[in-house]
Amino acid sequence: MDMIYLDHAAATPVDKRVLGAMEPYFTEEFFNPSSPYLPAKKVASDYESAKAVIAHAIGAKASDLVITAGATEANNLAFTAISIVDGSCRRLLPRSALAGDPLRRHHPPTILYLETEHDSVRRVAEALGGEAIKVLPNGVIDLKDLKAKITDETEMISVALVNNELGTIQPMAEIAEIIREVKLDRMKRGIKTQLLLHSDASQALNLLEINVARMGIDLMTLNSAKIYGPKGVGALYVSHDVRLRPLTVGGGQENGLRSGTENVTGVIGFAKAVELAKEHLNGNRKKYASFRKILLDELQGYELVNKKHVLDNFVVLCYNGIDAERLIFLLEEKGVYVATGAACAASKGVRSHVLRAIGLTESQIAGSLRISLGETNTEEQMHEVAKIINEVVSAERGRINE
Ligand code: PLP
């Protein structure tokens, strides 16, 4: 039985060409980029060139990137940009430690984050006392809510470019325009508080044209694992005027923000994956649009959850009254791999905060499946999958109604 893999938002296989590019750096070119001899200097130079390729894909320079061990780390690092009080980050204290703090009343949240963010943003922002910005029922940011929640103390706003459960594309240009107006107003009133825009682009890099300057973004998270590169490699783009606290301290690599011997193989692979993604960006978008259409035309008895403003490789279906966890199990028996939502939440049995945020009922959430298409898929598979899902759903409905 051939596998039909429909969970590319969770993981993508490393492209053979990516693997090929990485291989020499495991063996012949294994040198530490910081070593003084020539072969090591070549590795250091190749590493910088690879960083430049990744940076160029978002309109930035190699020196603007901090390489991290994935997007979670990059997201966590981004939040060190908020104010540091008395040499320590006051807001890193647990909520209980702040409970009796008389200053607390005078410190409204300095962070705003979209309520549908990945846990690696949401949980940090929550721990730092951040406030969630609402989404509309279509998953797009509620700009009115954003405007209402920005105060003179707001220092950072975090909005993912593409949501990892729905594929919703957020209107970064409109968000940046609101921020620009707020900054202008603050300047007129002599308020010096910074206002930074962070965006997690983990799910966007291979399918959207990105330019950080044009989008008004100060901090951007990138992820190799979602674009057919190796896992455990990511990057944080940091605009030159933003100050961060180091994630690790030691040898001073990555502009002193993340010490530790460089992950040369990982970054070489990440760069190759970026190169390939950019080459096929338009072709892939067209391909996924046609695949999505086949699924929506041939599948039966579902409600489409992610209708508009989405990347076409995300197809979220709701089979109300059916347990999607059971569907996943039944589909796996037929060689079809799908998900209910984010892999990390699913493994903990946690219901999706994203589907709740867009107003789905608990029963609708329980019946929702996420299909995320990718390069392992073919048109033929789409017809095949539609047939298999229809059969499994129909059998399941029959069983329930018995
Ligand atoms: N952000 C988004 C939007 C994601 O989809 C993911 C991965 O699922 C992450 C962050 C975390 O990435 P990683 O597990 O590679 O650190």
Which among 14, 77, 202 is the best mutation to test ligand 1's pocket, defined by most ligand atoms within 8 Å of the CB? 202
pLDDT band at 401; cut points 50, 70, 90: confident
Q: Nearest residue CA, atom 15 of ligand 1?
A: 70
Mean pLDDT of 342-352: 65
pLDDT at 105: 42
Residues 304 and 370: their CA atoms lie apart, in Å, by 11
Whole-model pTM: value is 0.93
Mean pLDDT of 341-350: 61
Does 347 have pLDDT greater than 70? no
Are 150 and 257 within one domain? yes
Q: Measured from the CB, is residue 72 less than 6 Å from ligand 1?
A: yes
Instruction: Say which CATH number the domain at 288 has.
Output: 3.90.1150.10
Expressed in angstroms and rounded, the spacing between residue 201 Cα and the centre of ligand 1 is 9
Phi-psi region of 309 (alpha: psi -120 to 50; beta: other; left: phi over 0): left
Q: Are 141 and 120 in contact (CB under 8 A)?
A: no
107 and 64 within one domain: yes
Residue 349: pLDDT band by 50, 70, 90 thresholds? Answer: low
Burial class (CB in 10 A: 0-12, 13-18, 19+), 119: middle
| pLDDT band, residue 2 (cuts 50/70/90) | confident
Does 203 contact ligand 1 (Cβ within 6 A)? Answer: yes
Q: Distance from the CA of 258 to the center of ligand 1, in angstroms?
A: 19
Alpha carbon distance 402, 399 (integer Å): 5
**pLDDT mean over 154-176:** 97
Long-range contacts of 347-352 (CB under 8 A, 24+ apart): 352/165
**Ligand 1 neighbourhood includes 7 CB (under 6 angstroms):** no
pLDDT average, residue stretch 187-207: 97
- Residue 162, pLDDT score: 98
Pocket test of ligand 1: the residue of 75, 120, 352 to mutate, having most ligand atoms within 8 Å of its CB, is 120
What region, left, alpha or beta, does residue 159 occupy, with left being phi > 0 and alpha being psi -120 to 50 degrees?
beta
Give yes or no for a contact between 234 and 251, defined as CB atoms under 8 angstroms apart.
Answer: no
| pLDDT, tens only, 276-309 | 999 999 999 999 999 999 999 999 999 999 999 9
Instruction: Specify whether 230 is located in the same domain as 271.
Output: yes
The answer on 314 and 182 residing in a single domain is: no
pLDDT at 1 over 80: no
Q: d(Cα 122, Cα 111) in Å, to the nearest integer? A: 11
Predicted pLDDT at 98: 43
| Domain identity same for 134 and 185 | yes
Answer yes or no: do 98 and 30 share one domain.
yes
Q: Which of 8, 12, 72 to mutate to test the pocket of ligand 1 (most atoms within 8 A of CB)?
A: 72
Residue 47 has pLDDT above 90, yes or no: yes
CA of 79 to the centre of ligand 1 (A): 16
The share of the chain scoring above pLDDT 90, in percent, equals 89
On whether both 272 and 348 belong to a single domain, the answer is no
Tell me, in angstroms, the distance from the centre of ligand 1 to residue 272's CA: 19
Read off the pLDDT band of 61 (50, 70, 90).
very high
Among 62-71, 78-87, 143-152, 340-349, which is the least confidently predicted range? 340-349
The string of pLDDT tens digits covering residues 237-262 is 999 999 999 999 999 999 999 999 99
Say if residue 197 is in the same domain as residue 286: no
Q: Residue 157: give its domain's CATH number.
A: 3.40.640.10
Q: Residue 402's pLDDT is what? A: 82
Do 252 and 301 have their domain in common?
A: no
Q: Is the pLDDT of residue 59 over 70?
A: yes
> Given the CA of residue 75, which atom of ligand 1 is nearest to it?
10
- Please check whether residues 368 and 396 belong to one and the same domain: yes
Domain-ending residue, one of 278, 309, 344: 278
For residues 219-238, average pLDDT: 98
At residue 83 the predicted structure's pLDDT band, cuts being 50, 70 and 90, is: confident
* Boundary (domain end) residue, out of 261, 278, 295: 278
Last residue of a domain, one of 231, 256, 278: 278
Predicted confidence (pLDDT) at residue 93 exceeds the cutoff of 60: no
Q: How many angstroms does the Cα of residue 398 sit away from the middle of ligand 1?
A: 37
Cα separation, 343 vs 32, in Å, equals: 34
Q: Across-strand partners of 238?
A: 219
Residues 79 and 119 in one domain: yes
Angle at 280 between CA 277 and CA 283, to 5 degrees: 140
């325009």: which residue's tokens? 177
Q: Is the pLDDT of residue 316 over 80?
A: yes
Choose, from 150, 304, 343, 344, the residue flagged as catalytic: 344
**Which residue range is the domain that position 317 belongs to?**
4-13+281-401
> Which has the minimum average pLDDT: 28-42, 88-102, 211-225, 234-248?
88-102
For the beta carbon of residue 383, count every other beta carbon within 10 angstroms. Answer: 14
Domain count, the chain: 2
- Residues 50 and 271: beta-carbon distance below 8 Å: yes
Name beta bridge partners: 196.
Answer: 156
For residues 274 and 287, membership in a common domain is answered with no
**344 among known catalytic residues:** yes
Give the mean pLDDT of the chain: 92
Statement: residue 103 has pLDDT above 60: no
First to last CA, the chain: 30
Q: What percent of the chain has pLDDT over 70?
A: 91
The residue-averaged pLDDT of 299-327 equals 96
Length of the chain: 402
